[in-house]
Amino acid sequence: MSAVPPVALVVVLAALVLAALLAVALRGRRKGWDAVDDGGPSELLPAAPPRARQPGAPPPPRSVLERLAEGLTRTRGQVVERLDALFGARKVVDEELWRQLEELLITSDVGVRATHRLLDTMRARAEKEELKDPGRLRTILRSEVQKALSSRARKLPDPTGDGPLVIMVVGVNGAGKTTTIGKLAARHVRAGRKVLVAAGDTFRAAAIEQVVVWAKRAGAEIVRGEPGSDPASVAHDAVTAAVSRGADVVICDTAGRLHTKSDLMAELVKVKRVLGRVLPGAPHAILLVLDSTNGQNAIAQAREFDAAVGVTGIALTKLDGTARGGVIIGIADELEIPVMLIGIGEGMDDLRDFEPEDFVAALFDGGVQALGRGSNSAAEAARDVERGIRADDPDESVAGQG
């Protein structure tokens, strides 16, 4: 080891002092955002400091797969438990079994087309393998469902560091747009990114207040306008602010209902156009939020929004509260649009990237194998699920306002 020359020490010290001064100056600038009004009609609210977990608060959420399995309890009851009963009751693979399987899948919101496609492939495999045992069909169905779900799976893009990533969120009222925006914002904030939420559902005052609550809770900044103001101008101001302040992510809320459907679609087209005008290439993602409890109607909504604005990905919400989770198979089959995110609860932490493999494991093996991973006792965890015990912080759910 050689001795450090005194000159180098002085240089290092000077650099440290400079860095400290710079940090103080930057903090001062951030504080100044409190009072920011860009002169435009929109108001920029600063991010709230992150909340610390209170002593005695519930333990952190369990593993991803456990939580997912818990969320899918109802769909599993509707789809997989009925399947198991069917496969268990039938002794041979015959026409009656295929007929009952078809009925079961269609009534589980898988959809007619997706059901027939699944059954055709299963029949072909069963014939090829000269299958006699109905139990084996379960394995085949599981693998075909996974194939169907994996064929289009894609992730929502992350910011590249080259300007803000702009995500426009669309969907009918009550689908879960605002909730999903809050959860998504929180996720990016947790990843150390600066997030700005645009309160673009200006049609209802309550919708603005609701997205403000979520954004604050997530630790994101908010750009909001007056109720009834032009959402395109809120979107404009949000992206302008994001660019000038070096934000990493902008998430744009939008209305889900206007006076007429064509009014709504025209407004969304305008918001999209304005985003692109402020920042070429924006919006980088158009996320359609669909409520899984709407079953097949969700597919019809997807077609309409896609025709108007060109949807790049789907967030499928409320999979925890429904037995109609089978619709995800119909969506993967009928639409060209990938499911990117799934909502499995009302808490901040209840948004997941859609991972077909995990989803199928949670759905088909949920009560057993999935819960065995990462927990002390699989049986104990399974009992927890039965009792419907929630691991999330009850304080972290925001009541919807329509």
Residues that bind Mg ion (CB under 5 A): 177-178, 207
Residues 6+ apart with CB under 8 A from 186: 217, 218, 219, 220, 348, 349
Q: Hey, which residues between 249 and 278 contact ligand GDP (CB under 6 A)?
A: 256
- Which among Mg ion, ligand GDP, none contacts residue 345 (Cβ within 5 to 8 A by kind)? ligand GDP
From 224, 274, 317, 355, residue interacting with ligand GDP (rule: CB under 6 A) = 317
Q: Are 345 and 182 in contact (CB under 8 A)?
A: no
Least separation in angstroms between CB 173 and ligand GDP? 5
Residue 289 or 302 having the CB closest to Mg ion: 289
- From 120-128, 175-183, 230-238, 280-288, span contacting ligand GDP (CB under 6 A): 175-183
Q: Indicate the length of the chain as a whole number.
A: 402
- From 82-90, 119-127, 173-181, 328-336, span contacting ligand GDP (CB under 6 A): 173-181
Separation between Cα atoms, residue 371 and residue 157, nearest integer Å: 29
Least separation in angstroms between CB 346 and ligand GDP? 4
Least separation in angstroms between CB 171 and ligand GDP? 5
- Which among ligand GDP, Mg ion, none contacts residue 80 (Cβ within 5 to 8 A by kind)? none
Separation between Cα atoms, residue 37 and residue 308, nearest integer Å: 33
Q: Hey, which residues between 331 and 350 contact ligand GDP (CB under 6 A)?
A: 343-346, 350
From 62, 67, 76, 177, residue interacting with ligand GDP (rule: CB under 6 A) = 177
Least separation in angstroms between CB 71 and ligand GDP? 8
Alpha helices (H) in 246-366, listed in sequence order: 261-278, 297-309, 327-334, 356-364
173 binds ligand GDP (CB under 6 A): yes
Separation between Cα atoms, residue 253 and residue 399, nearest integer Å: 17
Residues 6+ apart with CB under 8 A from 130: none
* H/E stretch holding 315: strand 313-317
From 75, 115, 178, 202, residue interacting with ligand GDP (rule: CB under 6 A) = 178
Site string for ligand GDP, 113-132 (x = CB under 6 A): --------------------
Q: Hey, which residues between 202 and 241 contact ligand GDP (CB under 6 A)?
A: none
- Alpha-carbon distances, residue 371 vs 36, 349, 394 (angstroms): 49, 18, 22
Burial annotation 183-218 (CB, 10 A radius, 16+ → b, else e): bbbbbbbeeebbbbbbbbbbbbeebbebbbbbbbbb
372 binds ligand GDP (CB under 6 A): no
Q: Are 358 and 153 in contact (CB under 8 A)?
A: no
Least separation in angstroms between CB 359 and ligand GDP? 14
The sheet with strand 285-291 has its strands ordered as 43-45, 221-224, 195-199, 249-252, 165-170, 285-291, 313-317, 339-343, 351-353
Burial annotation 88-123 (CB, 10 A radius, 16+ → b, else e): eebeebeeebeebbbebbbebbbbeebbebbbebbb
Residue 276 or 400 having the CB closest to ligand GDP: 400
From 42, 179, 301, 312, residue interacting with ligand GDP (rule: CB under 6 A) = 179
Residue 18's SS3 state is helix
Task: Tell me the pairing of strands 195-199 and 221-224.
Answer: parallel
306 binds ligand GDP (CB under 6 A): no
Residue 47 or 175 having the CB closest to ligand GDP: 175
Least separation in angstroms between CB 167 and ligand GDP? 14
Q: Which amino acid is at 250?
A: V
- Which among Mg ion, ligand GDP, none contacts residue 220 (Cβ within 5 to 8 A by kind)? none
Which residues are at the interface with ligand GDP (CB under 6 A)?
171, 173-179, 256, 289, 317-318, 320-321, 343-346, 350, 399-400
